[in-house]
Structure 1
Amino acid sequence: MTATNTTPPTVPGLDAAGRRRVLIVFSATQITSWGILYYAFPVLSNSITISTGWSPPAITAAFSLGQLAAALTGIPLGRVLDRTGPRTVMTTGSILAVPAVVTVALAPTLTVFYLGRILAGAAMGAVLYPPAFAALTRWHGEQRVRALMILTLVGGLASTVFAPLTAAVDARTDWRTTDLLLATVLAAVTILAHRFGLRGHWPDPPEPAAAS
């Protein structure tokens, strides 16, 4: 009697169109997230100091705390992403980023300002390069190097786009209004893009190579 093969067929992660879709989504959201959560801050720092009277070292410390928060949240979020894929992690990070920027914009005291930057840092851990690179690596498989190179080059445009844009808006309004406008852009571009653009089967991790 012929034995029946009960091994389930391999389910591909994404087809070619799906891989193009997620690369386009990541390109748009990385430019926006880096531009608003990272590069806009040093552009506005001088205006923040002049407007609030908070010292430049205090402003810089808030930025540094945000970077520390991004590093600390990256490890547990990476474990979640490895199991479930980037959709939930990056959508949640995008949602958190919006009130974080709003908190910074409306902060009446330095303490609240610090809280906003820490929340923004936690959001950065969920939406910047590390989760995007991990997702592209898993979805693109053998084509991952090309995808990662494209995303890195496109993401590098974030400062080119948002630094002069932030400076121009700040010159015509003030830093608080600028941050509120940037929070609106962040919400419009990243939340829905991550929610609906990162759909698709999340493949299992590749088997480790056999030892020689």
Structure 2
Amino acid sequence: MHTDALALLEYDSLALGIAAVDRMLKASPIALLKCGSVHPGRWLALIGGTVASVEAAYAAGVEETDDAVLLRDPHPELRAALAGRPAGLRPDFALGVLETGSAATLLKAVDAALKAAPVGLAELRLCDDLGGRGLALLHGELADVQAALAAGCEMAAPAGRLSGRTLTPRLDAHFCGVLNAGTSFRDCVVAEPAGAEIPEGR
């Protein structure tokens, strides 16, 4: 995903989203990096290309969106996470969690957070199994994660789409392994630290 600019457009209507993607592709030579339906009945479209191309496509598709973001110079860690290559959590680092009411707002907030301090992006989830929300896990030195969270919240709060934020100064080592496997309940791995009380018959 080596594009100069990225844009994520979020539609409340699947029909409007499909029509908008067609318009964007006809308006500009962009790359359609990913698109499709997400919970709860929304349509997401992630596009990339040169700044000029993405701006032209964005203009053709943004009018009917519920939320949208255009990033002319997205942070490399954000690109990697969108391509399915997020950084892993470390138990000796602090953990910051950002939760937003839309996927587009999450990208905007995470980009600001990553640019504000040298933190890593351990997970990025957009809408699915989240009731339409966005979720990001940031990790690094405590002061850096604090600064990153502040920048991300400052970006998301004015839109009224900041759903939650937490800061854990030092993550439990066993829980770190659980989170590295993914934050979805469906994909959760069992954590059995030494001395743990394990139910019979499990």
TM-score (norm 1): 0.26
More strand by share: 2
More helix by share: 1
Q: Which has the larger radius of gyration?
A: 1
Which one has more relative contact order, counting CA pairs under 8 Å at least 6 apart? 1
TM-score (norm 2): 0.27
